[in-house]
Structure 1
Amino acid sequence: MKISVYVLAAVSFVVGTVELIIGGILDLVAKDLQVSISTAGQLISIYSAILAFASPILLNLTAKFERKRLYLYSLSVFLIGNLMAAFSPDYSILLFSRVLLALSNSLLLVLPITIATKLVAPSFRGRAIGLIYIGISGSLVLGVPLGMVVGRAFGWRYIFLILSIFIVISIIVVFFLLPKVTPEPALPLRQQLATLKNKKLLSTHLVTILFLAGHFTLYAYLTHYSQEVMNLSNSLLSFLFFVFGIAAVLGGGMGGWATDKWGTSNTILTVISYFIPALILLPVTTHFLPVFIINLTVWSLLSWALNPAQQNYLIKAAPETSDIQIGLNLSASHIGIATGSAIGGVVIEQSSVFFNPWVGAFITFVSLGFAIYSTRPVSARKYLAYQHLQK
């Protein structure tokens, strides 16, 4: 694997930490800014909603930019948003900083994937994508748990100050080590959305939305769930996120490997089929911590194993519009995250966080139906008709 792919994975680790850390410190933010947990949760849902709709628009507007230069510009804006979060005096300013972070991150999440797939041979695409997601999920192993420790020891603002240093380092590393990547001609946004007329592609994006909605119905409030249902101490809570992160890293790599080894369709269906019972069993295992940790590990493994398979499926299903589909799938991912975070907040307000895993499992079950439909073999006649439509 080329060193440039590892660079992209390392930068994705930093970017992922900025995005994901908020879920681990919601209680600290809520207490400091004097808002409720569900209100603090909007920092996740609004962030994801903006990212979802900004991604295809910004990708289209920046289609003619050389990819490395665009990556550097995006990292610079990301740095400004991160510093604004660190010094935000109230909730409204912090929310605005999340908007700025989301806008820049809408490019920072897509560019590493599209760049990586252009730097490696087709037979290594699944592993390259998996490596990028290892970088993102790696932020769960070190970034989020260490951030939680720093936040509880010195205050949550110090997390963003430290991350700003790493963003500066990322800008320097990308400048010197990432090669230039020529952009490909982009279709107008209307034509991009027209690709969704293909029912299988649309169904694939719906799988992403529903799968992540089910996941984030609980994950966005995992800290609150662990404190309310299991009454875990701060040290155990950090350990729990550390275990989750290790499993996520392994899951991202496992998903890439399984995609190359067994194919996209088999990987997608297997991951979702096992993910549902993992969520259902979580509340049942809360009374015995070792079993709960085992179940949480399986949940984390599977939550990150789907991404490489989904991305590779879209590249193979629509090679002529692969960049578009990856961008649209990023939007779908964050629509799912925003939806799940919002639903989770409603469940907490109306009932109890105890039920969040079961609500998430039901949403994920619906995604399995779309996955079965989207992975069915396409007849040669329908495939040729779709290719004719693209031309």
Structure 2
Amino acid sequence: MNLKVLVLTIAAFTVGLVELIIGGVLPLIAGDLGVSVSTAGQLITAYALVYAVSGPTLLAFTARFERRKLYLWSLVVFILGSLLAYWSPNFGVLLISRFVTAASGSLITTLSLTLAVKVVPESHRARVIGIISMGISSSIVLGVPLGVLAADQFGWRILFLFIAIFALLAMFVVYKFMEPVAPQQAIPLRTQLASLKSFRVVGAHLVTALMLAGHYTLYAYFTPFLENVMNLGASWISIVYFFFGLAAVAGGMIGGFMSDSLGARRSIMIVVGAFALTMFLLPFSASFVPLFAILVFVWGALSWALSPAQQSYLIDAAPETSEIQQSFNFSALQLGIAAGSAIGGVVIDNTPAVTFNAWIGGGIVVLAFAVAIYTLYRKPSSRRPEGHGKQAGSKLEPTLGGD
């Protein structure tokens, strides 16, 4: 693998780890800082919310900056934020560190993709995008379970020190081996927001947000679920997270195959519907480990299977603004994570057992299913296509009709 691509992938992995690792060590953080588990869960909410807002905003404001220099400065801020988390004497300081790493992390992830495609031949660009994306998903497979074990032995703070060291190594290699990259043409934020003019596009983003909100209502508090409902220790919890991560990586491939074979519209409906059913059934399987393992795998796979179908759908629904819509869809994903983490905290504080998180989350995914039906099957106005003019209409209708 190209050394520069490898470094960018490691940076993407590191950013993914900062967001995802918190869920695996919530009880440790809560106990150490003297807050409730639901309060500690708001660290996930804060990160996702800042990430969602800062992604498109910072890209618009920094569009004229040379990309390599911007990447290096983003890594500097990210390292400082990680070290602040390592040092944090109380919950308030830790929360501030999440703001810092979320804002810088949103730039690092996007710039990793931007820089990676510029250092390889055009024929390898799609492959490189897949490698960078795998860096993020692999933080689930390897980072979270290993982080659970490390935190159990050395405390949760050590995780953020490791993350800062990884980011520092990435910054050194980028500085040493990567040439300056000229900025691309700026797309004003107002222009980006103006692209949200079709109910089909907005509906797709809302489906993503609602599905992730339902997912994180339980997933953000999955460690308490495994501890309190299934009575698992750190080693077994790590194994469950690893198993979930493998399923999530497989889910991306499964979702892509489904979208190519069945069409984007049918795939979205199947994934969202099956996801809701899985969440409702998961608590009932806690006393029967083989069934629980099957449902965890299905749950993990479906959590990532929606993305390929949504991307295909958005490209067809809004071809001339497809790149902007991918950015907005990732923001919708982060908003869903923020909402789900917040809702999950309320549920865990006001219900007798964490199993209610699964059922409340499943209900939110049912709402996503209803929005998907309305978005995907509502007929466009006879006056003009909802998309973006004649070109968009001619592309959109055959695609949706063919699903």
Could you state the TM-score of these two structures normalised by the residue count of structure 2? 0.87
Correspondence for 1:192: 192
8 Å contact kept, 1:130–1:253: no
Provide the rounded CA distance (Å) in 2 between the counterparts of 1:13 and 1:6. Answer: 10
SS at match of 1:52: helix
SS in 1 for 2:231: coil
Distance apart, 1:65 and its partner CA: 2.6
Q: For residues 309-324 of structure 1, what are the structure 2 equivalents within 5 Å? A: 309-324=309-324
Aligned pairs (5 A) from 1:167-182: 167-175=167-175, 182=182
Match of 1:160 in 2: 160
The answer to whether the 8 Å contact 2:11/2:108 transfers is no
**In the aligned structure 2, how far is the partner of 1:294 from the partner of 1:121?**
40
- The alpha-carbon distance between structure 1 residues 67 and 250, as it changes in their structure 2 partners (threshold 3 A), is farther
The answer to whether the aligner puts 1:282 opposite 2:286 as a matched pair is no
Against the structure 1 CA distance between its residues 192 and 378, is the aligned structure 2 distance closer, same or farther, given a 3 Å change threshold?
same
Q: 1:260 to 1:378 in 2, by over 3 A?
A: farther
Aligned to 1:50: 50
Partner of 1:353: 354
Task: Please identify, of 137-146 and 210-219, the stretch whose mean Cα deviation from structure 2 is larger.
Answer: 137-146
Q: Highest Rg: 1 or 2? A: 2
Deviation, 1:290, is 2.2
CA distance in 2, matches of 1:281, 1:321: 39
Q: Secondary structure at the match of 1:196?
A: coil
Q: How far apart, CA to CA, are the structure 1 residues paired with 2:260 and 2:78?
A: 33
State the partner residue of 1:249: 249
| SS of alignment partner, residue 65 of structure 2 | coil
Preserved contact between residue 129 and residue 256 of structure 1 (Cα < 8 Å): no
CA distance in 2, matches of 1:185, 1:102: 25
Identity between Structure 1 and Structure 2 (%): 49
Answer yes or no: is 1:385 the counterpart of 2:389.
yes
Show the counterpart of 1:369: 370
1:244-265 Cα offsets, whole Å, 9 max, x none, are 1111122223334544555433
Establish whether residue 93 from structure 1 lines up as the match of residue 93 from structure 2.
Answer: yes
Matched, 1:71 2:71: yes
CA distance in 1, matches of 2:211, 2:308: 14
1:34-63 per-residue CA deviation (whole Å, 9 max, x = no partner) reads 111111011111111122222221111012
Aligned to 1:337: 337
Partners of 1:133 and 1:378 lie apart in 2 by 34
Aligned alpha-carbon RMSD (Å): 2.9
8 Å Cα contact 1:134/1:250 also seen in 2: no
Q: Distance in 2 between matches of 1:275 and 1:172?
A: 42
Q: With the length of structure 1 as denominator, give the TM-score of the two structures.
A: 0.89
Q: Which runs of 5+ in 2 are unaligned?
A: 394-403
Deviation at 1:130, TM superposition (A): 4.7
**Offset at residue 315 of structure 1 (A):** 3.8
Query: Structure 1, residues 131-174: CA drift from partner, whole Å, max 9, x if none?
Result: 43322121111111111111110111111111211112222344
Q: Deviations over 1:106-144 (max 9, x none)?
A: 22233344556776869974x665543322121111111
The separation in 1 between residues aligned to 2:176 and 2:264, in whole angstroms, is 35
How far off its partner does 1:343 sit? Answer: 0.7
The CA deviation at 1:374 is 3.9
Structure 1 stretches lacking a partner, 5+ long? none
Superposition deviation, residue 177 in structure 1: 6.1
Say which SS state the counterpart of residue 197 (structure 1) adopts. Answer: coil
Secondary structure of the structure 1 residue equivalent to 2:196: helix
Distance 1:378 1:114, change over 3 A: farther
Q: Distance in 1 between matches of 2:324 and 2:97?
A: 27
1:273 aligned partner, one-letter code: G
Q: Output aligned runs, 1:203-218, within 5 Å.
A: 203-218=203-218
Shift of the 88–204 alpha-carbon distance from structure 1 to 2, 3 Å rule, reads same
Deviation at 1:375, TM superposition (A): 4.0
Indicate the larger mover: 319-328 or 208-217: 319-328
* Alignment match, 1:291: 291
**Structure 1 residues 6 and 97, CA, compared in 2 at 3 Å: closer, same or farther?**
same
Range with greater deviation from structure 2 (96-105 or 114-123): 114-123
Distance 1:263 1:6 in 2: 33
Deviation at 1:378, TM superposition (A): 6.7
SS of 2:35's partner is coil
SS of alignment partner, residue 63 of structure 2: coil
State the 1:285 CA deviation. 0.2
Q: How far apart in 2 are the matches of 1:192 and 1:48?
A: 20
Is the alpha carbon distance of 1:11 and 1:123 closer, same or farther for their aligned partners in structure 2, counting shifts above 3 Å? closer
Between 115-124 and 367-376, report the one with greater CA deviation. 115-124
Residue matched to 2:61: 61
Counterpart for residue 400 of structure 2:
none
